[in-house]
Amino acid sequence: MSSQKIFLFDFDGVIVDGMYEYWHSSLLACEKYLNSPYISFDQKIYKRVPNAFKEIRPWVKYGWEMVLIVHEIIKTENPINNFNKDDFINDYHQNCQKVLKDNSWIAEDLQKILDKSRNYQIDKDFISWVNLHNPFFEVIDFMKELRNREIQTGIITTKGEIFAEKILKQLNIFPEFIFGYESGTKVKIAEKLTKTYEILGFIEDRKKTLIDIKQNSETSHIPCFLADWGYLKKPDRYNLCNEIKLLKLHDLEKLVAI
């Protein structure tokens, strides 16, 4: 039995560089919806993404963490800055949990205000919001080439499904499906897909996710590619465990030959 072939993609850091959008939308979420007494706003902070935010971004798994990080960067007392960012990074998960606890926040609520901030911008000026993202055109071309070869494409992202869909539509990309954070873990989604599809590859910029795919017996056969152009932590490129290949943008076209 020959099953339908499909190629899977992460979204953020793989199809688009959304660094400016993450900063902008998380900042707007803090300004409009967070009601924190520890922050004050100067519109100038919207203009430039601070280095500390860019450096912490590779540790982020879910959108709500970005709202929390932005809060910590812009707070008036003891903010995270370029000099102390490594202290936060070195115990990233624990530090996020501590900030949640100290402020009596719930992760889901932060995710909701981030989604609300995105919806607000989309309603107000959709094109301006889309333009905060920079697509990787090599990946867009690769997706089109797959389509020419009758290979389907699927997106598995920790972003809200609707936001990924709106951006892709604007880029003229219509994948067979998009799974957002609402659909569960990436490994579980991939596991379900293996039952109906022959998965030719998965391109993702979060190494831990690829390791999880490789360690799950149902998904370990999926060829995994770590996107060199994405939000990688410095050591990610080295000591890549067996079977996870570092993929460069200019090598995408070689993959079409599979």
Q: What residue ranges bind Mg ion (CB under 5 A)?
A: 10, 12-13, 205
- Position with the least CB separation from Mg ion: 13
Residue 239, by phi and psi: left (phi above 0), alpha (psi -120 to 50) or beta? Answer: left
Residue with smaller CB distance to Mg ion, 74 or 159: 159
Residue with smaller CB distance to Mg ion, 71 or 206: 206
Token pair for 105: 């926040």
Q: Dump the DSSP string for 83-96.
A: TTHHHHHHTHHHHH
Residue with smaller CB distance to Mg ion, 129 or 136: 136
CB of residue 230 to Mg ion, shortest distance in Å:
6
CB of residue 14 to Mg ion, shortest distance in Å:
6
> What is the DSSP-derived secondary structure letter of residue 171?
T
Residue with smaller CB distance to Mg ion, 61 or 214: 61
Instruction: Convert 58-88 to b/e letters by CB count within 10 Å (16 or more is b).
Output: bbbebbbbbbbbbbbbbbeeeebeeeebeeb
CB of residue 153 to Mg ion, shortest distance in Å:
16
CB of residue 61 to Mg ion, shortest distance in Å:
9
Phi, psi of 134 (to 5 degrees): -110, 110
